[in-house]
Amino acid sequence: RFQKIESKELQTISETGGVGTRILVFVRLRPMAKREKEAGSRCCVRIHNKRDVYLTEFATENDYLRLKRLRGRHFTFDASFPDSTTQQEVYTTTTAELVEGVLQGRNGSVFCYGATGAGKTYTMLGTVNHPGVMVLAIKDLFFKIRQRSCDGNHVVHLSYLEVYNETVRDLLSPGRPLVLREDKQGIMASGLTQYRAYSTDEVMALLQQGNLNRTTEPTRANETSSRSHAILQVVAEYKVREGGNLLSRVGKLSLIDLAGSERALATDQRTVRSLEGANINRSLLALSSCINALVEGKKHIPYRNSKLTQLLKDSLGGACNTVMIANISPSNLSFGETQNTLHWADRAKEIRTKAYDVKDELLPVPESGNDQAKLLLELQKEN
Ligand code: ADP
Ligand code: MG
């Protein structure tokens, strides 16, 4: 069982006096791959006490010098998962609490960050035999809904989208690119499929199909592009009738499989700018810029610089419980990537999200005659 640090440590007082929380950051080490073994690689990562990560060996002398400049080879995270960690353990430690929060009307988001091949998609989507965080979260959400005996009804909607090359696409219903629109509730992709989910069984197949719809690199026909970001949004709405009013509570969980980080290594603003002209992932760079600005407490956070950061604005700077999972390979052949991922993750620990105003309360929703009739029907069906 992984022990997270005391929640007292995580709470910070926000400018408005409310309680805010910092982003929780986890590291997951994957097992050594066959091709890495065959290439004669050694393991260069050690995990101690399920929290501390040590870089123990270097690929080259150059790596050693770079590491010295980065001050140390030891990092501490909220939890660090050795390569024997199961999907369920990763889910329980990182995401289970966020799912509970979603049912109380709190938004949550989980990001997987790391180089291509480090295990992001395995962690998020997983396989049929080892389903990942996306599937386990939905399963748990349905389980928690069934556990609650209540008068109202819960509706769960899923949408799954991709940001590739600054174009947003619907992974559940591929077609023309989607346009982002901003309204009072935030940014949304107009026309995005909202899939009403009734059970977990259908979800894995749906997500796998969605993943097949992710953009592939032209030169590697069967492989998913390492430059595509996939975002699964799970919206849980609870509606109940009370004293003639229709009340509702909505919570959103965003689960994000980011593009490979290998070409957006910049952790400081100057490098970010010098890379901007080059052919690299604009959305990932913009994410780095936003994180830098948030860590430095800047007033202006450049969310508008990319599609990804526009979509994730709420998740980074808004009232949201945010979790980052940094995926790393054990091989010394990936030493540079691993070091960069750990450095980036270490920095992400400093981000604080806004305090929550929304509590576990139901808000009146404007209802049309149509809504009323639909709700009554749904409530009847439930009973
Ligand atoms: P990424 O999405 O970061 O590019 P993948 O998730 O596709 O990387 O992982 C690369 C390969 O390693 C895949 O074949 C995947 O099944 C395997 N893999 C990744 N993490 C694990 C793990 N924790 N346990 C077993 N296999 C893993
Ligand atoms: Mg992947």
Q: What residues contact 11, with CB distance under 8 A and at least 6 apart? A: 19, 20, 21
What is the 373 CA–ligand 2 centroid distance (Å)? Answer: 43
pLDDT at 13 over 50: no
**Ligand 1 atom having least distance to the Cα of 33:** 12
Q: Interface pTM (ipTM) of the complex?
A: 0.99
Please check if 120 is assigned to a binding site.
Answer: yes
Distance 124 CA to ligand 2 centre (A): 9
**Rounded distance between C-alpha atoms, residue 186 and residue 318, angstroms:** 10
Cα 373 to ligand 1 centre (Å): 47
The pLDDT value given to residue 63: 62
Mean pLDDT of the chain: 81
Q: Which residues contact 86 (CB under 8 A, 6 or more apart)?
A: 130
Q: Residue 129 gets which letter from DSSP?
A: S
Q: What average pLDDT does this structure show over 116-142?
A: 95
Q: How many residues does the chain have?
A: 383
Query: Pairing between strand 245-257 and 321-328?
Result: unpaired
Strand extents, DSSP E, the chain: 11-13, 19-21, 24-29, 45-48, 52-55, 74-76, 79-81, 108-113, 153-164, 167-170, 179-183, 186-190, 195-197, 228-242, 245-257, 321-328, 363-364
Coil/strand/helix, residue 348: helix
For 326-375, how does the pLDDT look when each residue is reduced to its tens digit (9 = 90+)? Answer: 999 999 999 889 988 998 899 888 877 665 555 556 777 765 555 555 65
Residue 117 CB–ligand 1 contact under 6 Å: yes
Q: Annotation-wise, does 114 bind a ligand?
A: yes
pLDDT at res. 234: 94
Ligand 1 atom index nearest CA of 116: 4
Tokens of 242: 């009370």
What is the SS3 assignment for 244?
coil
Question: Does residue 327 line the site of ligand 1, with CB under 6 A?
Answer: yes
At residue 33, the pLDDT reads: 96
Instruction: Please write the tens of the pLDDT for every residue from 191-228.
Output: 899 999 888 878 888 898 898 899 876 665 567 778 88
Distance 229 CA to ligand 2 centre (A): 9
Residue scoring higher pLDDT (51 or 356) = 51
